[in-house]
A and B are shown apart, each in its own frame.
Chain A
Amino acid sequence: MEKEPASKVELAPGVGGGGEIPTFDITLKVRRYNPEISDEAHWDEWKLTMYGTDRVLDALHRVKWEHDGSVSFRRSCAHGVCGSDAMRINGRNRLACKTLLKDLDTSKPILVEPIKGLPVEKDLIVDMEPFFQSYREIMPFLISKGHSPTKERLQSSEERERYDDTTKCILCAACTSSCPVFWTDGQYFGPAAIVNAHRFIFDSRDDAGDMRLEILNDKEGVWRCRTTFNCTEACPRGIQVTKAISEVKQAILTRRV
């Protein structure tokens, strides 16, 4: 790492790419619902010409900005870190801003629906409150007993690594709303809450692991998980969600973290 890179190198021809970005046509079908107008949901579709670097979010914006301003969805950062735009795209939970259109089968209509298991408010917008309620219940904050040191608490790189994967969560709800148990049992904590409990249970600085394990040992806790791996597949941050849930189950059985 410390060695100084060369002042000048020979670049491979065509390096970086770019230039003319290819275009292609898509059909975008969006599940519409607005109780101000009707209690029935329906599908609307648009034919659009899009670019090779465009994502599903770009297609939704194209519709909203050029065709129908009433199409409603949440979004903010537009590059997969804020967690606003989880939705069901061709039946799979993903972030609209991270799903490139060219990676989907554009010969068929692209179907976009709200995530499942949370009440739909309007079009792709769902009520996130039940999701955040479960999150808050697992006490998602560091609890440490004893005196606070003057400087930082020490933690080895290995101890830090132990819970690294679950710190990546952006609370987008893609995992929880992909879980068949959550669809049928709204009381289930769901994968995201367990992931966030895991983040603290396995943090060497935290002293409340037992309390969190007790909460998740509840009948609506980790034992409801049927290991279908939907959550792991849905996570846009690549968190090994099912593995994290299994580690929490194991910790409850052995009471050892």
Chain B
Amino acid sequence: MQVHKYDVVIVGAGGAGMRAAIESGQRAHTAVLTKLYPTRSHTGAAQGGMCAALANVEEDNWEWHTFDTVKGGDYLVDQDAAEVMAKEAIEAVLDLEKMGLPFNRTPEGRIDQRRFGGHTRDHGKAPVRRSCYAADRTGHMILQTLYQNCVKHNVEFYNEYYVLDLLMVDQEVTVDGETRLEKRVAGVVSYDLASGELHVFQAKSIVIASGGVGKVYKTTSNAHTLTGDGMGIAFRRGIPLEDMEFFQFHPTGLAGLGILLSEAARGEGAILRNSDGERFMERYAPTIKDLAPRDIVARSMANEVREGRGAGPNKDYVLLDLTHLEPAHIDAKLPDITEFARTYLGVEPYTEPVPVFPTAHYAMGGIPTNISAEVLADNDTVVPGLYAAGEVACVSVHGSNRLGTNSLLDINVFGKRAGIAAAQYALTADFVEIPENPTVETEALLDRARSSEGGERVALIRKELQDIMDANVQVFRTEETLLEALSVIDGLEERYTRITVQDKGKRFNLDLLEAVELGFLLDMAKVMTAAALHRKESRGGHFREDFPERDDENFMTHSMAYRDPSATRTSGVRLETKPVIFTRYQPMERKY
């Protein structure tokens, strides 16, 4: 076991992690640990853009952006956080431009902007051009630009280091003569893929920026590597997870494959049609139609299919129609996604509509933080030195449904805040002593996976997990489907104790790591399902057919899921609530 010592350790090298590293690396001794290589993270798959009220092409202001974010999240957004994000969005875009990001430009040479779902002028009057973009490769450009600037600032990376445990200790703290126990973070335990050795990183500040958990679903836009590791290690160490019942299904995944076709397609004028050739969004969202927020569009699509108006021989998808757009316009603004349609489905988007269906896309919930990206151990107790940013975190700026482009914004605004705050804390704080035998639990976890000879296959358990999540915890949910899912997950968890990992070596043992990742997926699926069961109302991305209305009286609260083996009815997950922060907007009925 090797021990490394840094002021700041950042877990994850996607957009949030690298944005944090650029700030932290210039202020304190910083290391970035990533289970991939830096430019492999899924930020690079984001396409459409990053909203900021630059008002480069039409009137706009950050207050409208705040309102859209709050309404888009069906009023479960913490409004102080949304305000911070919308205000700092402008600087975040300008920061990226100064770092070199090649934005598309207006005829005057300014950053160009386009429409995106749920982003409107003057509180919902009409769509507004707010999304700053680089063709349909905005995430790719952000990831590359951030990595380039990490190279510029000599940020230290540990590539292919999987962080498997968070070293938390209870420390006695005396405040005003009163002594109590406070959770503190001492470092992380990581597994070096190349050698199979464990490395302990002691740090004053830890920033978790490890991304989402989309691989709990079968049909997903997410990378294979998005297995909820960061949420998992925090949850196992007693940190709650907030709003995990809210998972976003992106309307336009390539049918059957889940590969993402950006909402930018609709921003540029594409529309959805059913098997009758009808532009059905006119019925569901008469004002902004195909540019309604994602939860509404995804549910409308699923409803069309359920009512028999799906296209194709099995009537199981709808059609994204770009055929009324000029090919030159498509080439200039949407080159990548049209290539995806050609490569993977053999469909020519110039002349044929593209088969699409909702695909699991984004976790609105995650590790609870305040607006300084500090992690909360309960509704209001900060864990000193522990930070989270990006999809792994829940600030909450997305509430029950995230607006398109607000994720690229989130990683930049809160990644930067986390990096600055982590470095500043490290400059004044002392190291927390590493507990004795820091790797004992991680070693036990790995040994169990390596030595078990029960014959169960990791891939099969994972497939069954993804199947039940797709079938029972997707766009439509009921108490019955959720209870069934929980009991299936319990069964899979039991089988998980009897897996066999075939690769017995130390070198690049991805077979072993897939087994470990499955453990995180099972934990997170359980939390998501238990939280969905707990919320007996419909709001944003969470739709309960048995409770189809929003119920502000009983559920205008965040959910907080704690690990608690005594909560047997909900598979060891205890649900509590946390108040939503309101500043200027009172809940209204959500119509578009």
A-binding segment of B73-81, B104-112, B471-479, B572-580: B104-112
**Residue A153 interfacial (CB < 8 Å):** yes
**Residue B300 interfacial (CB < 8 Å):** no
**Residue B257 interfacial (CB < 8 Å):** yes
**Residue B224 interfacial (CB < 8 Å):** yes
Which residues of A118-143 have CB atoms within 8 Å of chain B's CB atoms? 121-123, 125, 128, 132, 136, 139-142
C-alpha spacing A80/B275, complex, angstroms: 30
Interface string of B305-320 (1 = CB under 8 A from A): 0000001111011010
Give min CB distance, B443 to chain A, whole Å: 20
Interface string of B242-285 (1 = CB under 8 A from A): 00000000000001110110000000110101011111001000
Taking a contact as CB atoms under 8 Å apart, the answer to whether A142 and B99 are in contact is yes
Taking CB atoms, residues of chain B closer than 8 Å to A155 are 105, 109
Give min CB distance, A153 to chain B, whole Å: 7
**Residue A105 interfacial (CB < 8 Å):** no
Taking a contact as CB atoms under 8 Å apart, the answer to whether B151 and A141 are in contact is yes
- A81 contact from B37, B140, B269, B326, Cβ within 8 A: B140
Interface string of B456-489 (1 = CB under 8 A from A): 0111100000000000000000000000000000
Give min CB distance, A73 to chain B, whole Å: 8
Taking a contact as CB atoms under 8 Å apart, the answer to whether B225 and A76 are in contact is yes
C-alpha spacing A112/B342, complex, angstroms: 24
Taking CB atoms, residues of chain A closer than 8 Å to B312 are 16-19
Whether A1 contacts B268 in the complex (CB less than 8 A), given A8-B276, A76-B223, A156-B105, comes out as yes
Taking a contact as CB atoms under 8 Å apart, the answer to whether B279 and A8 are in contact is yes
Taking CB atoms, residues of chain B closer than 8 Å to A157 are 104-105, 107, 109
C-alpha spacing A168/B335, complex, angstroms: 11
Taking a contact as CB atoms under 8 Å apart, the answer to whether B256 and A53 are in contact is yes
**Residue A41 interfacial (CB < 8 Å):** no
C-alpha spacing A160/B503, complex, angstroms: 49
Give min CB distance, B126 to chain A, whole Å: 13
Which residues of B415-472 have CB atoms within 8 Å of chain A's CB atoms? 457-460
C-alpha spacing A79/B508, complex, angstroms: 23
Interface string of A1-14 (1 = CB under 8 A from B): 11101111111100
Tier of interface size on chain A: 35 or more
Whether A72 contacts B508 in the complex (CB less than 8 A), given A11-B273, A163-B102, comes out as yes
Whether A128 contacts B37 in the complex (CB less than 8 A), given A8-B278, A81-B45, A203-B102, comes out as yes
Give min CB distance, B291 to chain A, whole Å: 13
Taking a contact as CB atoms under 8 Å apart, the answer to whether B94 and A151 are in contact is yes
Taking CB atoms, residues of chain B closer than 8 Å to A76 are 36, 40-42, 223-225
Whether A136 contacts B151 in the complex (CB less than 8 A), given A15-B353, A66-B459, A155-B105, comes out as yes
Taking CB atoms, residues of chain B closer than 8 Å to A111 are none
A-binding segment of B141-149, B393-401, B523-531, B545-553: B141-149
Which residues of B351-386 have CB atoms within 8 Å of chain A's CB atoms? 352-355
Give min CB distance, A216 to chain B, whole Å: 17
**Residue A253 interfacial (CB < 8 Å):** no
Taking CB atoms, residues of chain A closer than 8 Å to B282 are 7
Give min CB distance, B370 to chain A, whole Å: 30
Give min CB distance, A63 to chain B, whole Å: 11
**Residue B100 interfacial (CB < 8 Å):** yes
Taking CB atoms, residues of chain B closer than 8 Å to A153 are 97-98
C-alpha spacing A98/B352, complex, angstroms: 22
**Residue A221 interfacial (CB < 8 Å):** no
**Residue A100 interfacial (CB < 8 Å):** yes
C-alpha spacing A142/B103, complex, angstroms: 14
Whether A98 contacts B343 in the complex (CB less than 8 A), given A1-B269, A81-B140, comes out as yes
Instruction: Name A's interface SS.
Output: loop
- B507 contact from A5, A12, A36, A68, Cβ within 8 A: A36
**Residue A84 interfacial (CB < 8 Å):** yes
Interface string of A96-122 (1 = CB under 8 A from B): 001010000000000000000000011
- B40 contact from A65, A83, A156, A168, Cβ within 8 A: A83
Taking a contact as CB atoms under 8 Å apart, the answer to whether B224 and A35 are in contact is no
**Residue B137 interfacial (CB < 8 Å):** yes
**Residue B324 interfacial (CB < 8 Å):** yes
Taking a contact as CB atoms under 8 Å apart, the answer to whether A122 and B508 are in contact is yes
C-alpha spacing A66/B462, complex, angstroms: 12
**Residue A22 interfacial (CB < 8 Å):** no
Taking a contact as CB atoms under 8 Å apart, the answer to whether A11 and B148 are in contact is no
Interface string of A133-171 (1 = CB under 8 A from B): 000100111100000100111111101100110011111
Which chain A residue lies CB-closest to B501?
A69
C-alpha spacing A164/B343, complex, angstroms: 22
**Residue A78 interfacial (CB < 8 Å):** yes
Interface string of B496-508 (1 = CB under 8 A from A): 0000011101111
Taking a contact as CB atoms under 8 Å apart, the answer to whether B329 and A1 are in contact is yes
Taking CB atoms, residues of chain B closer than 8 Å to A203 are 100, 102
Whether A125 contacts B345 in the complex (CB less than 8 A), given A7-B279, A69-B503, A76-B36, comes out as no
Taking CB atoms, residues of chain B closer than 8 Å to A257 are none
Taking CB atoms, residues of chain A closer than 8 Å to B571 are none
- B110 contact from A123, A128, A154, Cβ within 8 A: A154
Taking CB atoms, residues of chain A closer than 8 Å to B104 are 157, 160
Which chain B residue lies CB-closest to A35?
B507
Taking a contact as CB atoms under 8 Å apart, the answer to whether B507 and A34 are in contact is yes
Taking a contact as CB atoms under 8 Å apart, the answer to whether A72 and B510 are in contact is yes
Taking a contact as CB atoms under 8 Å apart, the answer to whether A170 and B105 are in contact is no
Taking a contact as CB atoms under 8 Å apart, the answer to whether B319 and A15 are in contact is yes
- B44 contact from A98, A128, A170, A200, Cβ within 8 A: A170
Taking CB atoms, residues of chain A closer than 8 Å to B352 are 12, 15-16
Taking a contact as CB atoms under 8 Å apart, the answer to whether B111 and A8 are in contact is no
Taking CB atoms, residues of chain A closer than 8 Å to B336 are 81
Taking CB atoms, residues of chain A closer than 8 Å to B102 are 160, 163-164, 167, 203
Give min CB distance, A120 to chain B, whole Å: 11
- A77 contact from B44, B103, B311, Cβ within 8 A: B44
Which chain B residue lies CB-closest to A5?
B324
Taking CB atoms, residues of chain A closer than 8 Å to B223 are 76-78, 82
Taking a contact as CB atoms under 8 Å apart, the answer to whether B508 and A5 are in contact is no
Taking a contact as CB atoms under 8 Å apart, the answer to whether A18 and B314 are in contact is yes
C-alpha spacing A72/B503, complex, angstroms: 10
**Residue A70 interfacial (CB < 8 Å):** yes
- A36 contact from B279, B345, B458, B505, Cβ within 8 A: B505
| 29 A–B pairs (Cβ distance < 8 Å), ordered by A | A5-B269, A11-B311, A15-B311, A15-B319, A17-B345, A17-B355, A18-B312, A18-B313, A20-B313, A69-B501, A72-B511, A76-B42, A77-B44, A80-B343, A81-B44, A81-B140, A136-B151, A139-B152, A141-B149, A142-B100, A151-B94, A154-B108, A154-B109, A160-B105, A164-B102, A167-B102, A168-B137, A169-B144, A205-B100
Besides the known contacts A19-B312, A141-B148, 15 further A-B residue pairs in the complex with CB atoms under 8 A apart:
A17-B345, A69-B511, A77-B42, A79-B45, A82-B39, A82-B40, A136-B151, A151-B110, A160-B104, A163-B102, A167-B141, A167-B144, A169-B144, A171-B39, A206-B100
List 5 A-B pairs, minimum CB-CB distance, nearest first: A142-B100, A65-B459, A19-B313, A69-B502, A154-B109
Give residues in B with beta carbon < 8 Å to A. 36-37, 39-42, 44-45, 93-94, 97-100, 102-105, 107-111, 134, 137, 140-141, 144, 148-149, 151-152, 194, 223-225, 255-257, 259-260, 268-269, 271, 273, 275-279, 282, 311-314, 316-317, 319, 321, 324-326, 329, 336, 340, 343-347, 352-355, 457-460, 501-503, 505-511
